[in-house]
Amino acid sequence: MKTKNKIPMRQCTGCREMKNKKEMIRVLKTAEDEIILDATGKKNGRGAYICKSRECLEKARKNHGLERSLKAAIPDEVYESLEKEFDHIEEQ
């Protein structure tokens, strides 16, 4: 008898919806308090997830969802790098 694999679900910090982990982008706070994007989803640190849509990024920025999830202030450079990442995704 074959068992069904469990799909990991994560909540978006922008729209607050539960979605498949692979459909989202992970923003990571490292041990050195550095905020980076984690494309692999496997780096060590505290992670927060956001949908691959510009609307969710705007909502997360407005409601301070990433800051709340990572328990740290998010510099504007991180939001700019996220916007560049969304531009790259939309081109594909």
∠ CA 38-8-63, rounded to 5°: 60
Start-end of H helices in the chain: 54-62, 65-70, 76-91
pLDDT score for 92: 64
* CB 78 within 8 Å of CB 27: yes
Which tens digit of pLDDT belongs to each residue from 16-57? Answer: 999 999 889 899 999 998 888 887 888 999 999 998 888 998
Whole-model pTM? 0.83
Q: How confident is the model at residue 75 (pLDDT cuts 50, 70, 90)?
A: confident
